[in-house]
Amino acid sequence: MNTDLIHAGEKRTPIWYGNGNFGGIPYLQDLEISGRLIVIEGPDASGRSTQIELLTTRLEADGFAVLNTGLKRSELIGEGILEAKRNVSLGKRTSALFYAADFADQLEHKIIPALQAGYVVLADRYIYTLMARNTVRGIKRQWSSNLYSFAPVPDLVFYLDVDPFKLVHRVFAKRQSLDYYESGADMGLSNDMFESFILYQEKLGKEFEFLKQKYGLISIDGNKPVEQVTLSLQKQINRFLSKTS
């Protein structure tokens, strides 16, 4: 094991999704980073968190400093999202803005500082899940694109593609119940929660096909055993880091 922390790469100016070279946020105009941002996307119960944990262990063993991030982890907003979802029926735009605020807070206080310090940032979901959720609920793609124009473009984005019927069995094995929003119950797709989950995940899957083409997401067969998925991710990440470190 290498006990010296490895900087992920040389200093560079990040690329932003919005127009302009600093994503429309003035204080980021002269920002330089040396870290790398790697995203693992995928539906509920696709194995993202497990893969993030395994990748973190491997990267740290190889000497990299690693930061984990994900949705609803903002110290400022995260608990507010959970509380709102427990007590009220959130409108689609209200929910979208809640999640955008959560992401923005983490970006400013966690992601950017870590990238400046040379960390490998592993994100358990990113703006793509949020945009896909918005789209299937009837929000125009351009609105979401504009909303997240301040987001930096990740270095790698993987999407764990899992059959919806396999997903539902994994969910029941994990917690014996289906989440209201992850089942699209707020959309009125079906009175049956199981059927609603399948329909909702199919809609998200179709939207992610669009996102893969537009944003270059790398598809990984998440139906395979955990070890095979891990090996595929590790090979591609190691290859990328060996070229850029």
Q: Are 36 and 94 in contact (CB under 8 A)?
A: no
Which range in 76-90, 148-162, 163-177 is most confidently predicted, on average pLDDT?
148-162
- Report the predicted TM-score, pTM, of the whole model to 2 decimal places: 0.91
* Predicted pLDDT at 28: 74
Higher pLDDT among residues 217 and 98, named by residue: 217
Q: Are 40 and 160 in contact (CB under 8 A)?
A: yes
> What residue ranges define each of the domains in the chain, with the CATH number in brackets?
30-161+220-244 (3.40.50.300)
| Torsion sign, CA atoms 141, 147, 105, 17 | positive
Count of C-beta atoms within a 10 Å radius of residue 214: 12
| Torsion sign, CA atoms 18, 20, 25, 29 | positive
pLDDT digits (tens, 9 = 90+) for 40-92: 999 989 999 999 999 999 999 999 999 999 998 998 887 777 777 676 667 88
Location of structure tokens 């979401």: 144
- Sorting pLDDT into bands at 50, 70 and 90, what band is 220? very high
pLDDT digits (tens, 9 = 90+) for 186-214: 899 999 999 999 999 999 999 999 999 99
**What number is the average pLDDT over the span 154-170?**
95
pLDDT digits (tens, 9 = 90+) for 119-134: 999 999 999 999 999 9
* Predicted pLDDT at 203: 97
pLDDT digits (tens, 9 = 90+) for 8-54: 678 888 888 986 555 556 777 778 999 999 999 999 899 999 999 99
* Predicted pLDDT at 177: 81
